A and B are shown apart, each in its own frame.
Chain A
Amino acid sequence: MLYRRHIGRVFAVCVRLLKDRDTAEDISQEAFVLAWKNLHKFRGDSAFGSWLYRIATNAALSQLRSQQQFLESLDSDETGALVPEYRESHDEQLGLETAISMLPDGARAVFVLFSIEGYTHDEISALLGVAVGSSKAQLHRARMLLRKILS
């Protein structure tokens, strides 16, 4: 069953991009419904999974874009404020998944898309509507913050 085979990857990309599990569940459902509605557009020149994950990614990014703080986050290159605030309230060693969820929206989106989902900066630039340089800068920012959080 297609749902059983793909829900794990679909939900993973949604929850990593959106951070909130409830919203990620809604968007995952929406991705499957969108895929069903647009099944006639699937040409079979890529794997069905890849096509479905792209739909899920677009749906999640669309949800992110509707949030003003996400748009502001894409323009920001601040790297210092987050970590001390977080470190003060967390004494235990953090996992990467949690650390990713602590990233600012823009940096998190680029990190998830580039480092986990395997998109190129050109593709991310098109998906997010930002310059390739901004995508690279956000990735650098994400890595720097993650190193600080995890160290």
Chain B
Amino acid sequence: MTDQNDDKMTDLELARQVRELDLEIQPDRDLWVGVQRKILDNPRKSAREKQFWMPYAVAASLLVAVSALLLNLFQLQQVDTVEGRMAGINQLEDEYVKARNPLVDEFTRVNHSLDRETKTELYRNLKIMAAAREKLEAEVRANPENTRLRELLIKLHEQELALLRQDFTRPSRSL
């Protein structure tokens, strides 16, 4: 028999001996007393004790989440409202400028023949109206939620455009 065969035999014998080993070995002394003492020194927290705070934690988390959601929605709504109003103001002014520009040209052409004093008075009044419009536009932009200011601005636009449409060279026209 070769050394390899001897090793193989020993290996099988080793496996047999391992199978025959006792799975249990008893300690020399009773360990339960020590186990009991350690358990009493460090009482176990039950799962229920450890997790009693879970519903509160879940409730708190939900409360925070819902609050955050509502706050975000409110802020989004506010942004939407403010942005919407500002867009409305921009549109209002754009429409006014589109209507006004051709009327200014027409006004200049139609009233070209007026005397110097009348034209001076006319343009002075237009200048006062323009200054008032600019102030009112600034106020409307500063207070986009104020519908009363917006109505005043619209009214002023209409008055200015009505003035520009007039032909002051015809009789019975006065400022």
Indicate if the CB atoms of A3 and B35 lie closer than 8 Å.
Answer: yes
B34 in the interface, Cβ–Cβ < 8 Å? yes
Q: Which residue of B lies closest to A25 (CB)?
A: B27
**Measured CA separation A147–B25 after assembly (Å):** 23
Interface residues on B, range: 20 to 34
Interface centre among A12, A28, A29, A150 (most CB of B within 10 A): A29
Distance between Cα atoms of A109 and B34 in the complex (Å): 26
A24-B27, A40-B47, A150-B10 as given contacts; A3 in contact with B21, CB under 8 Å? no
Check A25/B18 contact, CB under 8 A, given A33-B38, A33-B39, A37-B44.
no
**Chain A positions 35 through 57: 1 when the CB is less than 8 Å from some CB of chain B, otherwise 0:** 01101100000000000000000
Q: Does A88 make an interface contact (CB < 8 A)?
A: no
Chain A, interface size category, equals 20 to 34
Task: Contacts A25-B29, A96-B17 given; indicate if A40 touches B23 (C-beta within 8 A).
Answer: no
Between B31, B34, B46, the greatest number of chain A beta carbons within 10 A of the residue's beta carbon is seen for B31
Is B21 a contact partner of A96 (Cβ separation < 8 A)? Answer: yes
Within 8 A of A (CB), among B18-52: 18, 21-29, 31-32, 34-35, 38-39, 42, 44, 46-47, 50
